[in-house]
Amino acid sequence: MRSHRSEPSTGFRLPKPGTVQIAPSILSADFSRLADEIALIESAGLTVVHLDVMDGHFVPNITVGPPVIAKLRRHSRLVFDTHLMISEPGRYLASFVEAGADHVTFHIEVEDDPLELIDRIHCLGRTAGICLNPETPVSSIEHVAPRCDMVLVMTVRPGFGGQTFMPEAAKKVAEVRRLVGPDVRIEVDGGIDSTTTPIVVGYGADTLVAGNAIFGQQDRLAAIEAIRAAARQIA
């Protein structure tokens, strides 16, 4: 029997499962003009932007923190899908929520009491997600995933954009879908483009994080439409 999933008390709700969403990752965006990059996403009719938060400890890179997110929040109504690739997510949770995070995903690999952290996220009125690295088995989240609003499957090793898609890691999406059923979103991050989109959507993913495939292209709008078209082949 699937465990009861707590609902966030206020604020952001994820789009209904079954609708494929593209969540562009600002990791690959032009950081000198982030507000413009986010405005472009909105002009394409997208509703979610993926914020990669890295601490240089859990992953070998350092990116943005609450101050940058707070500044971006002033310029956008997009859902801030905040992916904490950090060693102590609970320690900084309130800061990210105060900065404007709508959804918070953390890694199962770093948290001793993930259920408690999920409850804290929900109590702050935000949706909660759990993330799996490529080498981490789905069995590690069996007791956690049904309490989440979204599960994130990494199809590259986290830390840097522009990496090559890992087909074996993507197969875990189908396993996660069997675990959580239709009411929890499944997000995939790593090497997502118009070629790999049909693969992960076919496995059951409905939220696609694309960084270099969008922001690495001269025509961002055409790149977004190419991923949309690829998703429609399956959805």
Mean pLDDT of 111-133: 96
Which are the catalytic amino acids? 52, 189
The tens digit of pLDDT for each residue in 212-223 reads 999 999 999 999
Half-sphere exposure of 199 (CA within 13 A, CB side): 18
Average pLDDT score over residue span 119-128: 96
Residues 34-47: pLDDT tens digits?
999 999 999 999 99
How sure is the predictor about 157, in pLDDT bands with cuts at 50, 70 and 90? confident
Domains and CATH numbers, the chain: 21-232 (3.20.20.70)
Q: What is d(CA 204, CA 87) in angstroms, rounded to the nearest whole number?
A: 29
81 within 8 A of 105, measured Cβ to Cβ:
yes
Q: Give bridge partners of residue 192 from the DSSP assignment.
A: none
Main-chain phi, psi angles of 66, to 5 degrees: -55, -40
Please tell me the distance from the alpha carbon of residue 143 to that of residue 115, in angstroms, as a whole number.
8
